[in-house]
Structure 1
Amino acid sequence: MNTEAIAKRLVELCRAGEYEKAQRELYADDAVSVEPEGAPAGALGNAQGLAAILEKGRRFGESIEALHSASCSDAVVAENWFSVSMGLDATFKGMGRVAMQEICVYRVHEGKIVREQFFYDAG
């Protein structure tokens, strides 16, 4: 798949709430996941490798007590990169209700996502 096809598929799966399926289908085994510097306490942090990214996603999902809404914009594609805006309104265990918006940037190499990086206001 080219970058545009991967971006469209990621958006489709995220809108369906199938995040793990997206990672298993679209990510390289050695992909990296990068959170912003100064992410809030309890943030799941950076991850190296698909297994670690899947575990990070599992732990994030377990931290959600109630999901009120989630959103994912259409992708903006530039050669081997694409970005989407994602939103989440959820009640987290021990944290209460949090509404957040983030920009997610992805790099594609040889038909797989090799890097995801998230940009949001930390704290």
Structure 2
Amino acid sequence: MNTEAVAKRLVELCRKGEFEQAQRELFAPDAVSIEMPGAPAGAMGNAKGLEAIYEKGRQFNAMVETMHGGTVSDPLVAGNWFSVSMSMDVTFKGRSREQMSEICVYHVHDGKVVSEQFFYDMG
């Protein structure tokens, strides 16, 4: 699968809310997931390897009280890299409803995502 095909499939699955399925299908076993440096306490940290990435997603989901909606942009592809913009309208447990947005950058090698990195404003 080339980078554009990986990007389109990831967007398709993420728009359905099937994030773990996207990871199972499209990520390399030793992929890394990188958060913003200095992310606030309680934020998900970096993860290396699929099992750690799945667990990171499960921990995030455990913090969510209600997911009200979200969007995933079309991918922007450049060589072995692509990016998408994602937004979420979410209420976390014990907190008020929040609008979140981020740029997600993915690196593809041999048809699999080998890294994802998230860029967002920290409140």
Most deviating of 95-104 and 20-29 = 95-104
RMSD: 0.7
1:9 paired residue number: 9
Distance 1:39 1:92 in 2: 17
Amino acid at match of 2:44: L
Identify unmatched segments of 5+ residues in structure 2.
Answer: none
Structure 2 CA distance, aligned partners of 1:94 and 1:42?
13
Separation (CA, whole Å) in 1 of partners of 2:96 and 2:59: 17
Q: How many residues matched?
A: 123
Dislocated runs of 4+, deviation >3 Å: none
Structure 1 gap ranges (5+): none
Cross-structure match for 1:18? 18
Q: Which residue does 1:77 correspond to in 2?
A: 77
Show the counterpart of 2:27.
Answer: 27
Counterpart of 2:119 in structure 1 is 119
Which string of whole-angstrom CA distances, capped at 9 and with x for unpartnered residues, describes residues 39-93 of structure 1? 1220011001110000000111111100111110000000100000000010001
1:108 aligns with 2:108: yes
Aligned position for 1:98:
98
Corresponding residue SS for 2:52: helix
Normalising by structure 1, report the TM-score: 0.97
Structure 2 counterpart SS, 1:61: helix
SS of aligned partner of 2:94 = coil
Identity rate, percent: 67
Cα distance in 2, alignment partners of residues 73 and 20 from structure 1: 18
